[in-house]
């Protein structure tokens, strides 16, 4: 994201004008994921939204350090710009609210999910039985591959989603649910228990370029992981 998404001119422009930015290195953090090895000269490869959710979270805070929006995992520059724009909208309303700021945050996230096509059942948090399971551990979306259409969430009209998009859609839903259920949570509390957002398993970030398109390269990288997705 540093070399692609955050390097986008439009992203940089709005961040420089509307936000005060900082970053925290999660290397060594017990909650952090892992990354497939790649050389700095490797070109960026395609990657699914939400990949490496434990590697990176983009957190939007009030000046008092309260979280009003958070996005976990990879975002391309267009998706990142959308989230930044949405976060700015929330902040403008929160800043103008004389009271009920938490309700503002909840309502904005609920409205956003509705505009993205999520059902009332999904917005209320009534997921499929394996909803949480599919958000934990080693996610196929982390690999950036396209998957065949498999049973899972459906778009309005009953159109099934490809598996990778299904997981990305679930990740988006989880991010908004977190903000709805923890409106204006102090960042220190968020940081102490980020597993509520990204799960307890160890995810990793990878893309086609990291794998070099060679199955054996993938096998070599994955020898660091066991089937449960936990790092050896």
| Diameter of the chain measured on Cα atoms | 59
Identify how many contiguous H helices and E strands the chain contains and give both numbers.
9, 7
**Element (DSSP H or E) covering residue 57:** strand 57-61
Q: Which two tokens stand for residue 113?
A: 């999910």
Neighbours of 83 (CB within 10 A): 18
C-alpha torsion sign, points 56, 62, 64, 70: negative
Look at residue 183 and tell me whether its pLDDT is greater than 50.
yes
Q: What is the pLDDT of residues 28-37, one digit of tens each?
A: 666 666 665 5
The pLDDT value given to residue 166: 65
Among 72, 50, 48, CA closest to 60? 72
Structure confidence at residue 25 (pLDDT): 78
In this prediction, residue 140 has a pLDDT band, given cuts at 50, 70 and 90, of very low
Q: What is the pTM of this model?
A: 0.74
Of 87 and 41, more confident: 87
**Cα atoms in the Cβ-side hemisphere of radius 13 Å centred on 112:** 22
- Residue 133 reports pLDDT greater than 50: no
pLDDT in tens, 89-122: 999 999 999 889 999 999 999 999 999 999 888 8
What is the model's pLDDT at position 43?
64
Contact between 28 and 146 under an 8 Å Cβ cutoff? The reply is no
Q: Give residue 38's pLDDT.
A: 59
Residue 142: DSSP 8-state: G
List Cβ neighbours of 168 (8 Å cut-off, separation of 6 or more): 48, 49, 50, 141
Packing angle between helix 77-96 and helix 9-18, nearest 10 degrees?
20
Q: How far is CA 37 from CA 72, 93, 103, 177, 209, in A?
A: 21, 42, 43, 32, 10
The reported pLDDT for the residue numbered 102 is 96
pLDDT at 151: 44
Q: Residue 125: which pLDDT band, with cuts at 50, 70 and 90?
A: confident
The dihedral through the CA atoms of 59, 187, 36, 133 has a sign that is negative
């Amino acid at each position: 994201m540093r070399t692609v998404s955050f390097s986008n001119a439009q992203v940089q422009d709005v961040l420089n004008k509307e936000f005060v930015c900082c970053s925290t290195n999660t290397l060594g953090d017990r909650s952090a994921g892992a990354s497939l090895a790649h050389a700095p000269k490797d070109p960026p490869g395609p990657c699914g939204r939400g990949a490496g959710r434990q590697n990176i979270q983009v957190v939007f805070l009030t000046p008092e350090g309260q979280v009003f929006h958070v996005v976990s995992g990879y975002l391309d520059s267009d998706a990142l710009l959308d989230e930044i724009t949405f976060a700015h909208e929330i902040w403008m309303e929160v800043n103008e609210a004389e009271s009920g700021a938490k309700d503002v945050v909840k309502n904005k996230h609920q409205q956003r999910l509705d505009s993205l096509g999520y059902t009332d059942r999904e917005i209320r948090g009534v997921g499929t039985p394996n909803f949480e399971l599919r958000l934990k551990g080693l996610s196929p979306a982390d690999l950036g591959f396209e998957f065949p259409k498999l049973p899972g969430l459906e778009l309005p009209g009953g159109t099934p989603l490809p598996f990778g998009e299904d997981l990305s859609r679930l990740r988006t839903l989880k991010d908004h649910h977190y903000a709805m259920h923890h409106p204006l949570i102090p960042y220190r509390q968020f940081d102490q228990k980020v597993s509520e957002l990204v799960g307890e398993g160890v995810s990793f970030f990878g893309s086609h370029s990291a794998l070099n398109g060679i199955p054996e390269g993938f096998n070599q990288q994955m020898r660091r992981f066991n089937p449960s997705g936990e790092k050896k």
